[in-house]
Amino acid sequence: MNTVQSVSDAFVNLLYQVLSAIPAILAFLLIVLVGYFVAKALRTVTARLLDRFGFDRTLQENEYGQYTERLSPGASPTRLIAGIVFWFVLLGAVAIAIARTNNPGLTSFLDAVVGYLPNVVAAVLIFVIAGAISTAVGAFVRRTMGDTATGQVVQAVVPVLVMGIAIFAILDQLEIAPDIVRIGFTALVGGLTLALALAFGLGGREVAAQIIRDAYEKGQEQRDQVRRDYELGKERSRQDRDAVKERAPAEPTEQTRDRTPGPQERGQG
């Protein structure tokens, strides 16, 4: 009899705990569901705003966007940022839902995930900003140096250098082998500095002077071309104005055409 009573009491206690947990489970699911729809809506809004401003086109639809494409084949910066917004909001909703369950294990795990999320956001932003900088630098060098041999070298090297530095910064943000990343970055910067110093010390000053000279001459040519175009526009405007003045006396005016002949004019006729 005692055994039956013990089993019955245990079953009743289990049923009571399950029934007591139902409101908490429903609240958890409701919070997560609402957070999911909010995150989905914000992802759509973010993607549309970035598309309206031509974010992907600015980063990828040029010859310097190849570096972004090589690092992340087929990836869309717009979808990437929109996805970050989605997961950030959804994880926030899950964190709120778990906090209501008062479960220490789940709370600690989610705190670790949420604490790492800003590092991921920072890494993505570094990647996007580095792509924009490499694009801008490449376009600026091409506009100033044109298709010269030096300009082509600078256009090829500078974007790669910018993206290389960005990769080290991303790995550091993600805390992936931080000691190795720092050592590698220090070695890269030190080697680059030493190479530049040796280059200038062994006659690289002439190359640097040539780079500056080519950029200056290119700017002067463009400025002279703009000035010539401006003077040509002024000359054409002056010629058109003179032509209009020459045609004006020969053409009858509206007042002359509409004037009716007076009595004297009719008499003379």
> Residues 49, 181: one domain?
yes
Which candidate, 150, 149, 154, 187, places its Cα nearest to that of 168?
187
Q: How many CA atoms lie within 13 A of 38 on its CB side?
A: 13
> Residues 30, 101: one domain?
yes
C-beta neighbour count of 228 within 10 angstroms = 10
> Residues 56, 179: one domain?
yes
Residue 201's pLDDT band (cuts 50, 70, 90) = low
Q: Domain limits at 211? A: 204-243
Q: How many domains does the chain have?
A: 2
The tens digit of pLDDT for each residue in 70-90 reads 555 556 777 878 888 888 888
> Residues 184, 218: one domain?
no
The tens digit of pLDDT for each residue in 133-191 reads 877 777 777 776 666 666 676 777 777 788 788 888 888 888 877 777 777 778 777 77
Amino acid 135: pLDDT: 76
Helix (H, G, I), strand (E, B) or coil at 176: coil
Query: In this structure, which amino acid lies at residue 121?
Result: V
Identify whether 268 is part of a domain. no
For residues 80 and 119, the answer to whether their CB atoms sit within 8 Å is no
Identify whether 18 is part of a domain. no
Spacing of C-alpha 120 from chain mean position: 16
Kindly report the CA angle at 108 between 103 and 110, in degrees rounded to 5?
95
For residues 78 and 68, the answer to whether their CB atoms sit within 8 Å is no
> Residues 216, 137: one domain?
no
